[in-house]
Structure 1
Amino acid sequence: MVEQRRSETDGTAQHFLVVFPGYHRSWAAWIAQTLERHGHRATLQRWDPPREVPLEDSLGDLLLSSGTVLLVLNDWFFELGPRPAGEWNDALRGFVAHHADRFAAVNLTNRPLLPATAVLEPASLWALSAEAAEERLLSRLGLDRARTPRTFPDRVRYPETRCEIWGEVPRRNPRFTGRDDLLNEIHQRLSDAERGASACTLLGMSGIGKTQLAAEFAHRFSTDYDLVWWVNSDDRNIQRDRFGELAVELGLPIGSEPGERIRAVRDALRRGEPYTNWLLIFDGWDDSEGINALLPQGSGHVLVTSRNRAWTEYTDVLEVPAFLRAESTGYLLRRAPHITSAEADEVAAEFGDVPLPLVQAASWLGESRMEVPEYLRMVRERRLSTVDEPATGEGFPQSSMTSWSILLNRLRRSQPQAIDVLGLCTSFAPGRIPLGLIRAYPQTDLPQELRWMAADLPAWTRALDTLVNYSVLTRETRGPLGAEMGPHQESVHMHRLVHDIVSKLTSEENRAIHRHAVRTLLAEADPGNPVDSRNWPRYAELLPHLEPSGALGSTRPRIQATVLNCLQYCLRSGEYNSGLELAQKIRDHWSRMMDPLAQPMLDLTNQESYILRSSGRFREAYDLDRRFLERVQAAERGDGLAELITQGSVAGDLRFLGRYEEAYTLQSQVLEGNERLLGPDEPATLVARHNLGVGLRLLGRYTEAYELDLETLTRRENVLRPRHISTLNSGSAVAHDLRLLGRYRDALARQEPLVRLHVQVLGPQHPQTLEARVQLALCRRREGGHSQDMSSAMADLLDQLARLHGREHYRTLSFLTAYGNYLREHGDLSRGRELIDEAEAGYRSLLGPAHPVATGMLSNTALVMQAAGERADALAMSEAALAGLTATLTAEHPWVLGCALNTAAARNFNGRITEATELSRETLRRARHTLGHEHPLTLSCQVALAADLRAVREQEEAGKLEEDALLALTRTLGAQHTHTISARQRVRPYWDFEAYLG
């Protein structure tokens, strides 16, 4: 109960008791505030008089308040209770008429009210503007407008004014019953929570009414929000896609990659721009994985529905109980007005007051007009006589299973086409079902029994209406409110439990027909290009239905192609966990029905290993590819192309495992074979050439890598065109090579326009764009860049990589390393050490301690120790890194040379001058041979040797080496480059390890 403050107008203020059913709370709040604005007092009174209390007594209780009782009416108001026929008319003509001076009313509907309502003289506010409604309200109550109406800082929105963004909230259920205290509890918890932590989870078993409760909350409290967005969360891909769609509504300048959109939306909600009052509802979020990456924070509210108790760790949790008995009987009496209160009570008890089966029972009784004794007899007898009754667990009353069986039997007799539609729905996954595909693709080769669905629209509509009337399905529509929808956007919602029960009550023959139809429709709806991110929302919608439709076990090439396209979508969109789960399911089906070396199995293996590598599971990818390659090579009839594809995949695995020489040898064979079988300009050949360049780079053969990558770039520009995603990737590879060759200016000049092109073509947050931006940051650093802006840009880029891949992903670890080295180099030793330690531990866990990258990270740790004055520990770490890399790579590898440069410095700082000088001299000799005399690393080795020679008093040689190095640095990098300045100032040079897996 909310009491408003007294008007400043002395002697004229009146008091009004605003009486409303719970679902008209927003109207009551607006009416109360309107009255207060004009100098009066108002008290809000939610009202649902219990049926057992005589209506006159309940109305008499309202008169205990002072002033006028203002009733907020619509046609449902008179079903509160509900009451036997005639009770309301009697009370209106008697009690209310006798106290007519104390009662007034407003009417919110254009549907007819009870005839006796005339005694209240209700003022109709239906379909009026806020100004007109205010005028009519005041007129009905005989009130004058205040000369200067009061203003409120948090003014209640006029209920007819929809919030600015209203995103696919289910239609309001006009039969929603009770739950008022629960709804107010949700509202109170969200309102009282600290800013940024306003999240509440509705927890309960299936069928308890969580979704209906969340939908009613959205409608009832919509005036509190500028934005309300509904996210179906049964499937992770659909959930991410739907959440990302909010970016478009918010006008955020981003592309179509899901991760990019999600990050942009979360950031906008956190900042409260453009809306601070927002409500997000995640319906059916049972999978707790990835909660922190998706759950938004900020000034708005989050409502989650779930069966998973893990939510207690993340949000406030509210248990959703069964109906109160009065709510159960009230609902039954409204839907089936021919039954008595005692009969309603008996039905409610039979179904344990659980909302879902009660809704179905009420629908049955209301539609069939069957008497309760007969209905309960059928339920109980069928339950006792059925030995294979489907079970659902979760405390769901067994009697409800029987009631579904009764309903289906009736429909088979009276409306068999509705049974067809229902069976079709059970061949999709539960939740949102894109049933509009039937109309979107009318030429689909459907089974004979189902062709009426596409050809006979009136019959289709009647069948759907029947299922909706019996509360088996609810209608849903995708897209903006009020916009005209195409058939492919039309959908229905089928509760998971209903789906499970009906599936078990459907014959095997019919199920086979329906599943065939659904998988055929899924293939028709396949856009055919999972690489294009514009198609990802469609693939996210198709993905959940592959398994229930039987698409995974189909022998039809068209459907198998759709299955593989959905898997490719998981790879391209970064949904690696979903992709690996799908790949395993596909393999389980296909391994039982096709040759293990068939082309689909080859494609499956290739994609699965790619996903494994992308998610950092390199050893598993190698084992998978190796087993398949052995099968291909052992086959009696050789397939040269299949062998090449699998060898290319194995070569990729070997690169990530640090076996660079083996990978290079195998990749060379792959390129040669592709050129021989396909020609030099086929996409597969271009991929093989690109990957060979990666292998050369990892071997430290930078000049060869640059020449090969430049050739690949030229070919891709000619064959695929300059803006193709693969061409852009080749451009980054060339810039990478230039930087490793020490041509920092050239690398920067190439990478800057390339990043702009990536943003234009792929969007700023696409994974490949982020990698291009990483390359740009490294180019700028090597060119000598240092500023607060650069430091902030690197921090921001690290944050974006972590949000996209996770903190432990190898790409994030790589940039953690680069940023940590940058911070150490520029004085932030504490933060730099944190990042280097994190990256080293991450690589050791991911790759094992013997991997070249994990070993090379020890050199970075040694540099941090050196800067912190821990000289003995730094020397030990440097020696370990040098020994480890020398054992796994050649002595001339640039990584080994850089590590040797650092180790010589550590020996010098620890007083081991002779050993330092020997190592520096040998390192310079090998660097000149491998990298050339003017490479920055070679010149650093030359400056380091000069420092060691000065320490052993070989001044003449030291001076000559130093002078030559300064001239070369000035000529190649410029007089003001940091390397040149440091050498001039005789600062001991170092080399930081750039962690790179390929």
Structure 2
Amino acid sequence: MATQRTTAGTGTQARAGEHFVVVFAGFHRPWATWIAHRLESHGHRVTLHRWDPPREVPLESALGDLLLASGRILLVLSDWFFQLGPRREGEWTEALRGVVATHAERFAAVNLTNRALLPATAVLEPVDLWSVGAHEAERRLLGRLGLPPAPNARPLPHGPGSRYPNDPPAVWGEIPRRNVRFTGRDDLLNRLQERLTDADQGTAVVTLLGMSGIGKTQMAAEYCHRFSSDYDVVWWVNSDTRGTLRERLGELAPELGLVSGSEPGERIRAVRDALRRGEPYGRWLLVFDGWDDIEGADDVLPEGSGHVLITSRNRSWSESRTALMDVPGFERHESTGYLMRRAPRITAEQADEVSAELGDIPLALVQAAAWLGESDMEVPEYLRMVRDGELSELADQGGFDGVPRSSLTSWSILINRLRESQPHAVELLSLCAAFAPGRIPIGLVRHVPPEGLPADLGWLSSDLAGWTRALDTLVNYSVFTRDTRTAIAGEEPGPEQESVHMHRIVHDIVGRLTAPAERDLHRQVVRRMLAAADPGNPQDARLWPRYAELLPHLEPSGALGSTNERVQETVLNVLRYCFRSGEFRTGVNLAEQIREHWSEILPPEHPRMLELTAQQGNILRAYGSFRAAYELDRALLERLRAAPGPDGTGLMTATSCLAADQRYLGQYTEALQAQREVLETALELLGPDDYLTLLAQHNLGAGLRLLGRYTEAYEIDLETLRKRETLLRDRHPATLVSGIACARDLRLMGRYRDALARQELVMRLHVQVLGPQHPQTLRARHNLALCERRAGALQDVGAVMAGLLEQTEQVHGRGHYATLGLVVDYGNYAREHGDLQQAKDLIAEGESGFRDLLGPAHPISTGMLSNTGLVLQAAGERTEALTMFEAAFAGLTATLGRDHPWVLGCALNAAAGRNFTGRLDSAQELSRDTLRRARHALGEDHPFTLSCEVALAMDLRGLREHEEAGKVEEDALQRLTRTLGAQHPHTLAARQRVRPYWDFEPYLG
């Protein structure tokens, strides 16, 4: 081949700056883009031309039109290129021998397949780029075009399409296998790329909308493959359910090299943060497939320099930060082209007739093409059956999301014919219909021994060859596709890990075509599969992905209403997983579904109903639905007490749940009394070392703490901690909870340095055991920040609180009580350090949030008035501040009594408010009374007691009683120095005669 080529029409030799038109089928856009990048890096100009001429245009004319462009024409060839149209081989041969041979100097080609091309392509002298590295491919490309490498050629800036197509992205997240029969959609795909690329950074989100079967998922998958060289990370998220969406998105964390635990909320936070920062990759694409339930979407959708693609049937996405693209049916030439490629024996006229009959719906055409391509049925017979409405009663049932009647009939024909010719395939297919649509872990059937299966289904676990044949048949007929997820990265899954993806329309059709008795039998088999696959330990974070896999299939398999004890235990374990993993919203919905079913088959006092109620109450409380949990537990306890011969353990569990509800609802005295009953019963029935006894003892400590009896709480918590360390282990989650409790007690007792030392250790263990973003770890981190603040830590506690607030919001949401608690504590810190506007905003948000969550009469809501008063006082609005202080003082006194530490704190602030507004006598009286009560409740050396002493000295000085003021002040300073140290902020503030205050830390128990 000559090393110099002439440019047509000029007679001059090829030189730098030559123009090339790269002609490609849409399937090979990544290659065309890379070729353009490399030619441009050597100083040439390139025009990309996607080529798919309408079939009615003669091929010679279409090739001739390419010659109208200036420069040379480079064809990107593969077997796919020659399927465009599709056209007969003879037509291609004539065009190549005619137009191309006549203008050979204008045409060149590269070959991207290892399959034999048409013999006539020899005229193009295609150079093979199949299975070679980037450097060699570039050398061959330049050699074929007769171009010398530019002496100063260098890589172009990192951008879309710059990566060599044979080099996969750094992270490729189980994208569905590329559909080699993908047809058309080129304009839609190009528009999609433009919308994503042209969007402002942080807003590149596009939602593909359309009815079921219209091809949204296939289009998203093709986009991933076609534009893969634009990205370093491509990650697919099956989004049929909230649980699977969150688990799958969280699985991206380790792929990005992020250090995180197993809790989904923690992983999602880490992923979103990494994507937002663009570290380690700034070019990323996330696909959320089948995301119809969009509640809480803003807590999941990432921001940053990457792209997000969503497929959905829900038009409510228009209300979020996403651009919408409607996905229509095929254009007619796309429909006919697809049919003729899949079933080459049919004519263009027949393909047009079938397309018209099926409404150009892609899913229907896939089935029709598969049937016509695999069977020997003639098109007229096929159309007659569709038009005559064979099995048309299926369409009369409704509920098929606008799918044409002809399409439903076509699917019915296929499945019923398979029933005659491939019964094993239909048995496997019917079994899949007993799962939920979408991803189906069908390999779980191989966990069930043959004797555990009905006689006609025993082959599923014993006949591997039959299993493979049945699966291949269904894949070949496009009834479903193989799922790409594997047990071990880089390896094909074994039969036990086999998963398939079944479209919801196909799932519905199969289910309706299955006889009721057979459907019930298959659901029973699936229930056994789910039970056999239950790992049995929902507390183990390593097993959470399995529970997330089982969850979607509980309801369609009938597991929620099963009377089988093993299945019921699996259902409870999935519910426990929701609680342990922090999937509270999912757990709330699942618990209600379970209750609806179990209420019909189990009496309220049945042990499983008691366990369900306990777990449901746990999830409701964790979710922030305190009143709902209380009503649930109260009703059960009343029924149990009224039943003859009540079960002691059941009563104990129900009473414990109600006591927990009462603590959250602010009924502290009633809760403590109930918890004492629980502990007494546990000691009597179970002994002092039982897990439930220790839980009851821990809850007793929580009740004492809420009543301000911190020393008693600490003694209880310390004993519980020691027993848990001995009977469980140092790293058991329950032991870690006791560690937090002890540190909190120490802080509230005023032993700030001891509290900080203990909480630092507890914090490290939480991160190691549960991960940094587990809900329990977030509580530990919150307590650590408070310990650091009280201990006068030198580091920037405010920055710690700000970061923790962001992370807690991502895990729980802004309105959750854990988040609101951080909002308030951060607001108090901001006020203390002079950021008054931020403090005002945060305290107002916290006050409003707790009032909405708990009601205005709850002690937390009342105590929040004191924080609002501190903000007003700092802003100079002293009269308004005093009103807040007095309201908080009076309200908490009425509910908690005058000696509760919270009441004493409000009294300290009220005395300051009276002093600042000139009510000196009243301030002095309140300060003196508060000091007396604080000494009794907290001890003479408690930092709060000493703050009361400093406040009294200031009031006395205001009344010109200088001698007593001096003695009181000197005593307070000596005690503060001895207790906290001379350099502690409290001590320094007292020496500078800064009026002490008390900020309210909202804590629910």
TM-score clears 0.5: yes
Give 1:197-216 correspondences, 5 Å limit.
Answer: 197-216=203-222
Q: 2:267 aligns with which of 261, 269, 277?
A: 261
1:683 aligns with 2:687: no
Distance in 2 separating the partners of 1:950 and 1:91: 107
Q: How far 1:812 sits from its partner (Å)? A: 1.4
Tell me what 2:287 maps to. 281
Q: How far 1:33 sits from its partner (Å)? A: 3.3
Cα deviations by residue, 1:643-692 (Å, 9 ceiling, x for unpaired): 00010000000001111010000000000100110000111000000000
Q: 1:132 aligns with which of 133, 136, 149?
A: 136
Distance in 2 separating the partners of 1:77 and 1:943: 87
Distance in 1 separating the partners of 2:892 and 2:158: 66
Matched residue type, 2:311? T
Indicate if the aligned counterparts of 1:390 and 1:504 stay in contact, CA closer than 8 A: no
Structure 1 residues 37, 965: CA separation in 2 closer, same or farther (over 3 Å shift)?
Answer: closer
Distance in 2 separating the partners of 1:798 and 1:588: 37
Tell me what 2:65 maps to. 61
Q: How far 1:444 sits from its partner (Å)? A: 7.6
Q: How far 1:149 sits from its partner (Å)? A: 3.2
Tell me what 2:422 maps to. 415
Give 1:922-941 correspondences, 5 Å limit.
Answer: 922-941=929-948
Tell me what 1:507 maps to. 515
Q: How far 1:751 sits from its partner (Å)? A: 1.3
Q: How far 1:241 sits from its partner (Å)? A: 0.9
**Secondary structure, counterpart of 1:86 in structure 2:** helix
Tell me what 1:106 maps to. 110
Q: How far 1:978 sits from its partner (Å)? A: 2.2
Structure 1 residues 331, 392: CA separation in 2 closer, same or farther (over 3 Å shift)?
Answer: farther
Tell me what 2:250 maps to. 244
Q: 1:427 aligns with which of 431, 434, 452?
A: 434
Indicate if the aligned counterparts of 1:255 and 1:261 stay in contact, CA closer than 8 A: yes
Q: How far 1:160 sits from its partner (Å)? A: 1.0
Structure 1 residues 457, 296: CA separation in 2 closer, same or farther (over 3 Å shift)?
Answer: same
Cα deviations by residue, 1:383-428 (Å, 9 ceiling, x for unpaired): 5863763423432111111111111111011000000110111111
Indicate if the aligned counterparts of 2:111 and 2:126 stay in contact, CA closer than 8 A: yes
Distance in 2 separating the partners of 1:498 and 1:768: 42
Matched residue type, 1:941? C
Tell me what 2:566 maps to. 558
Q: How far 1:696 sits from its partner (Å)? A: 0.2
Matched residue type, 1:942? E
Q: 1:712 aligns with which of 681, 706, 720?
A: 720
Q: How far 1:54 sits from its partner (Å)? A: 1.6
Indicate if the aligned counterparts of 1:836 and 1:860 stay in contact, CA closer than 8 A: yes
1:334 aligns with 2:355: no
Tell me what 1:3 maps to. none
CA-atom RMSD, angstroms?
2.0
1:77 aligns with 2:84: no
Q: 1:477 aligns with which of 478, 481, 484?
A: 484
Q: How far 1:451 sits from its partner (Å)? A: 1.4
Give 1:621-660 correspondences, 5 Å limit.
Answer: 621-660=629-668
Indicate if the aligned counterparts of 1:167 and 1:481 stay in contact, CA closer than 8 A: no
Q: How far 1:12 sits from its partner (Å)? A: 6.2
Cα deviations by residue, 1:228-254 (Å, 9 ceiling, x for unpaired): 111111111111111111111111111
Tell me what 1:833 maps to. 840
Tell me what 2:368 maps to. 361
**Secondary structure, counterpart of 2:389 in structure 1:** helix
Distance in 1 separating the partners of 2:377 and 2:938: 91
1:842 aligns with 2:842: no
Give 1:450-489 correspondences, 5 Å limit.
Answer: 450-479=457-486, 482-489=490-497
Q: 1:609 aligns with which of 604, 617, 632?
A: 617
**Secondary structure, counterpart of 1:694 in structure 2:** helix
**Secondary structure, counterpart of 1:172 in structure 2:** coil
Q: How far 1:462 sits from its partner (Å)? A: 0.9
Matched residue type, 2:153? P
Q: 1:314 aligns with which of 315, 321, 324?
A: 321
Tell me what 2:550 maps to. 542
Indicate if the aligned counterparts of 1:392 and 1:497 stay in contact, CA closer than 8 A: no
Distance in 1 separating the partners of 2:797 and 2:518: 64
Cα deviations by residue, 1:53-98 (Å, 9 ceiling, x for unpaired): 1222112212223444332221222221112453223333444444
Cα deviations by residue, 1:15-72 (Å, 9 ceiling, x for unpaired): 4332211101111222233334445443322111211112221122122234443322
Q: How far 1:705 sits from its partner (Å)? A: 0.5
Tell me what 1:757 maps to. 765
1:187 aligns with 2:193: yes
Tell me what 1:445 maps to. 452
Q: How far 1:103 sits from its partner (Å)? A: 3.2
Q: How far 1:438 sits from its partner (Å)? A: 2.6
Distance in 2 separating the partners of 1:388 and 1:134: 56
Listed as ranges, the gaps of 5+ residues in structure 1 are 1-5
Cα deviations by residue, 1:939-976 (Å, 9 ceiling, x for unpaired): 22222222222333333332322222222222222222
1:43 aligns with 2:65: no
Q: 2:29 aligns with which of 25, 28, 39?
A: 25
Indicate if the aligned counterparts of 2:447 and 2:529 stay in contact, CA closer than 8 A: no
**Secondary structure, counterpart of 1:477 in structure 2:** coil
Q: 1:811 aligns with which of 783, 802, 818?
A: 818
Q: 2:582 aligns with which of 560, 574, 583?
A: 574
Q: How far 1:772 sits from its partner (Å)? A: 1.2
1:985 aligns with 2:989: no
In terms of mean alpha carbon deviation, does 53-62 or 669-678 score higher?
53-62
Structure 1 residues 675, 56: CA separation in 2 closer, same or farther (over 3 Å shift)?
Answer: same
Indicate if the aligned counterparts of 1:323 and 1:354 stay in contact, CA closer than 8 A: yes
Distance in 2 separating the partners of 1:652 and 1:720: 23
**Secondary structure, counterpart of 2:74 in structure 1:** strand
Indicate if the aligned counterparts of 1:975 and 1:981 stay in contact, CA closer than 8 A: yes
Cα deviations by residue, 1:322-341 (Å, 9 ceiling, x for unpaired): 11111111111111222221
Distance in 1 separating the partners of 2:977 and 2:153: 77
Q: How far 1:117 sits from its partner (Å)? A: 2.9
Q: 1:272 aligns with which of 278, 301, 318?
A: 278
Distance in 1 separating the partners of 2:164 and 2:959: 87
Indicate if the aligned counterparts of 1:166 and 1:481 stay in contact, CA closer than 8 A: no
Q: How far 1:483 sits from its partner (Å)? A: 3.0
Distance in 1 separating the partners of 2:858 and 2:657: 20
In terms of mean alpha carbon deviation, does 90-99 or 661-670 score higher?
90-99
Matched residue type, 1:994? E
Matched residue type, 1:264? A
Distance in 2 separating the partners of 1:660 and 1:378: 73
**How many residue pairs end up in the alignment?**
992
Indicate if the aligned counterparts of 1:904 and 1:920 stay in contact, CA closer than 8 A: yes
Distance in 1 separating the partners of 2:955 and 2:275: 58
Indicate if the aligned counterparts of 2:391 and 2:409 stay in contact, CA closer than 8 A: no
Structure 1 residues 13, 592: CA separation in 2 closer, same or farther (over 3 Å shift)?
Answer: same
Distance in 1 separating the partners of 2:917 and 2:286: 60
Indicate if the aligned counterparts of 1:200 and 1:304 stay in contact, CA closer than 8 A: yes
Distance in 2 separating the partners of 1:843 and 1:510: 53
* Identity across the alignment (%): 66
1:220 aligns with 2:226: yes
Cα deviations by residue, 1:584-629 (Å, 9 ceiling, x for unpaired): 1111111111222111111111111111111111111000001111
Indicate if the aligned counterparts of 1:383 and 1:399 stay in contact, CA closer than 8 A: no
In terms of mean alpha carbon deviation, does 534-543 or 114-123 score higher?
114-123
In terms of mean alpha carbon deviation, does 145-154 or 901-910 score higher?
145-154
Structure 1 residues 10, 375: CA separation in 2 closer, same or farther (over 3 Å shift)?
Answer: closer
Q: Following TM superposition, where does structure 1 have runs of at least 4 consecutive aligned residues deviating by more than 6 angstroms?
A: none
Structure 1 residues 451, 867: CA separation in 2 closer, same or farther (over 3 Å shift)?
Answer: same
Cα deviations by residue, 1:819-849 (Å, 9 ceiling, x for unpaired): 2112212222221121111111111111111
Distance in 1 separating the partners of 2:190 and 2:718: 66
Tell me what 1:297 maps to. 303
